Amino acid sequence: MQIVILAGGKGTRLGQLTRDCPKVLLEIDGKPFLHYQLSQLAQQGFTEVLLCVGHLSQQVEAFVKDGSAWGLKVRYAKESPGHLLGTAGALKQAAILLQREFAVLNGDSYLPIDLQKPVEVFTQKKRVGLMTVFRNDGYLDQSNAIVEDGWVTFYSRGEQSRPDVQWIDYGFRIFSKMALDSIASDTFADLDELYGALIEKRQLAAFIVEEPFHEIGSIQGLH
């Protein structure tokens, strides 16, 4: 399955660290963060990667090139740094490069799980959308989802009052390309909008994971 890495954002929560360096190239133990993501994908048997880039994209391309250093085939979908379209908007713009089914990985997340397992569930059960979820209870960050009977039934990054919002989006989702029909072209849209459209139709399956994720989207996460 094709893996799409969302790597176009400006990383504003990291302040000066990302002024002249894209977030995915911040170094961890002497190597750019993106190196660890690409290494994991190659080790787990993935071969096709699409990098959605925008902010300082030339640096990302100069580092990754065609992906052959990791045994991968990497292509690029480029947004204008002055006209970023959001996470779902970037996927819609890249539609011509997307396969019929594709998985989406945050460019600032490292997920210590076997990513092939949710892919297998998605493929075997013929889902339209699937979100990996972690039983968070406020542990990693603010919880944002409700899971019932194997489905995501509610998602909101702003909801704090509901006691049943106990899960968090783990940062690995899988979609059929038809799921993007709900997103308007050349319009800003985050994945929240895509989630909402799928939840309304009961088409966003949940895949539960038990290992916490690691992220570099914040100063605390980077440390």
Closest CA to 176 of 154, 202, 198: 198
Confidence of residue 161 (pLDDT cuts 50, 70, 90): low
Q: Is the pLDDT of residue 160 over 70?
A: no
User: Average pLDDT, stretch 134-158?
Assistant: 88
pTM of the predicted structure, to 2 decimals: 0.94
- Grouping H, G, I as helix, E, B as strand and the rest as coil, residue 152 is strand
What does the pLDDT read at residue 87?
Answer: 93
Please state, as a whole number, how many other Cβ atoms lie within 10 Å of the Cβ of residue 147. Answer: 21
Q: Is the pLDDT of residue 83 over 90?
A: no
Instruction: Determine the Cα–Cα distance for residues 111 and 170; give it in Å rounded to an integer.
Output: 8
- Grouping H, G, I as helix, E, B as strand and the rest as coil, residue 180 is helix
Those residues whose C-beta lies under 8 Å from the C-beta of residue 7, and which sit 6 or more positions away, are 22, 23, 24, 34, 51, 52, 53, 60, 107
Q: Is the pLDDT of residue 131 over 70?
A: yes
What does the pLDDT read at residue 80?
Answer: 85
Please tell me the least confidently modeled range out of 11-20, 61-70, 189-198: 11-20
DSSP string, 141-205: S---EEEETTEEEEE-SS--S-TT--EEEEEEEEEEGGGGGGSPTTS---HHHHHHHHHHTT-EE
Closest CA to 208 of 163, 146, 154: 146
